[in-house]
A and B are shown apart, each in its own frame.
Chain A
């Protein structure tokens, strides 16, 4: 299934000449999203403050706009919160009118957060090894362990 294609973590041995490999943001950052009218916001927060510069350099407004494609009709704006190791994105025209107008299941943009975490950026191979296990339920975890 295309949702579960191996991420950069699994491809760590395939580092390119620059010593980087593509890695999904889910291993580098967590996120939360919400709505304001027809605009969704996504706050992207580095797990490790040392990785904030990777996000700042590569997760640009242009890249995010391209990532979402037809899901975002308007512009994408980006704001920086370096003290939180975070970027905030405004995705204009993402919610089919928003509020009670929208026919979307996700009319309030609640899960645009993890949709952004699907995006891949180029990450140094040595960093990939340290973050590969982040962001997903650990292997062997079951709901028996929850709570």
Chain B
């Protein structure tokens, strides 16, 4: 899928392009709403990538679509584009996003309307990628011998099929590259990998093919750095965190990619945060598995030969990445309903705060037993003492000023979980003293959406992928 060179707005991004600047504007659905605007307005960029998806997000979006067939995508994306669409068209900034969720078609339709409202009618093209959603194909796939075995447990998907809520294949960069080649200004996908949103523009602009393993692997690292937004530029960064400058105005990362497959990470001038060898190193390790075998739909990247070099203030150069050919399989993200849970909290004060909290938890468990309620798990934590570092912190001191008791239950019986939520408040008058903090009311019962990782042969998926580009 080589980029087409005759698209009207494609002239600056041909394979002779020098460097391209790919800005990160969103690290998850719920990230800083104004960050993409700052990326567009704060200095020159060529591409804006926006990552909205996480494993659990797809099932939430599917639930929204079940209620409203027009929903099922990241709704925040539409008003955002209405704000930045004119600037993106005028300055030829291409936007690549997986905001489409489980409904790229609905997202693209809303985007076209937003473009009209923003005054770019006749000047902009919207592209969308479809075919990653295999929810409606699961029965046929299983009948054809694709067991979609759980990669962790080895169980066949059939065992939970009636409870599956969403099923999407992680797809790579090639459909995005095709949409860019067709001159799309904005490309909306479903479950494209987070990293593909960053390296697809490189493949497009530099004319890389799927055999350019080392270059694409470098693009994967760039994508890994971009996909969590400000977590590369000082946010959630442990090293000397107290020195991080002007985090209220933190700059999101920008990748300056070169045709040779190296890149520089930076951020706009005048923004807060920082880009150093160490902020980048922390992000490279985030959610890392085997660093010599980072599997994506387009390449298997090896991070272990990486060179990270500070070449200026807030400028870090990355090189040395190698890659190997893509595998015959694509990963599938399946969410299925797996019971119910609820978590309740109460606050206990000095003296002997932790001892009171534990006594309350004991009473609560005795009452749950007496009611004959059965759960798959009951968990007690003391927020302010051991809820993050567990037994590593030892026994709490009697002079602990306060502690929050946090009790959670999960089980298959919704009624039992519901009843648990009614057993927290009574502890205020029927349990240990010096208790407060129940202003939030009863805990909410939540449906558990469990994650089912599986593999599917590439050739079963790829013929179903399609790219659509339309005028605003």
Contacts and interface: CB of A to CB of B under 8 A. Distances in A.
Interface of A: 1-3, 30-38, 41, 43, 45, 47, 67-71, 79-86, 88, 90, 96-101, 103-106, 111, 113-115, 118, 137-138, 141, 145-147
A30 to B, nearest CB: 4
A115 B390 contact: yes
Given A83-B304, A118-B389, A147-B246, A100 B56 contact: yes
Interface in B40-72: 55-56
Contacts of B246: 147
B461 interface: no
Most central of B239, B377, B446 by chain A CB within 10 Å: B239
A9 to B, nearest CB: 17
Contacts of B306: 81, 83-84
Contacts of A33: 286
A129 B379 CA distance: 42
B257 interface: no
B389 A101 contact: no
Given A71-B392, A83-B305, 4 more contacts: A41-B285, A43-B284, A100-B450, A147-B248
A81 B408 contact: no
A80 B304 contact: yes
Contacts of A34: 286-288
B197 to A, nearest CB: 19
A145 B55 contact: no
Contacts of A86: 281, 285
Interface stretch (B170-178, B209-217, B258-266, B380-388): B380-388
22 contacts: A1-B397, A2-B393, A2-B394, A31-B282, A32-B238, A38-B152, A41-B285, A41-B286, A43-B281, A43-B285, A81-B284, A81-B306, A84-B285, A96-B377, A101-B450, A103-B343, A103-B377, A103-B408, A105-B388, A111-B388, A138-B242, A145-B242
CB-CB nearest 8 A-B residue pairs: A43-B285, A103-B408, A2-B394, A34-B287, A105-B387, A103-B379, A32-B282, A30-B239
B296 to A, nearest CB: 14
Contact of A99 (B320, B390, B450): B450
B289 interface: yes
Contacts of B289: 36, 41, 88, 90
A147 B273 CA distance: 9
Contacts of B320: 83
B291 interface: yes
A33 B391 CA distance: 18
A79 B303 CA distance: 11
A85 B282 CA distance: 11
Contacts of A38: 152
B269 to A, nearest CB: 18
A81 B449 contact: no
> In this complex, which of B307, B308, B338, B389 has the most chain A Cβ atoms within 10 angstroms of its Cβ?
B389
A147 B449 contact: no
Contacts of B239: 30, 45, 47
Nearest to B339: A101
A99 B393 contact: no
B235 to A, nearest CB: 11
A79 B289 CA distance: 8
A111 B144 CA distance: 43
Contacts of B389: 111, 114-115, 118
Given A30-B278, A147-B248, A71 B391 contact: yes
Nearest to A72: B390
B393 A45 contact: no
Contacts of A30: 238-239, 278, 282
Contact of B283 (A32, A83, A99): A32
B81 interface: no
B394 to A, nearest CB: 4
A144 to B, nearest CB: 11
Contacts of A147: 245-248, 272
B286 A96 contact: no
B125 interface: no
B453 interface: yes
Interface in B270-299: 272, 278, 281-292
Nearest to B277: A84
B152 A37 contact: yes
A35 B287 contact: yes
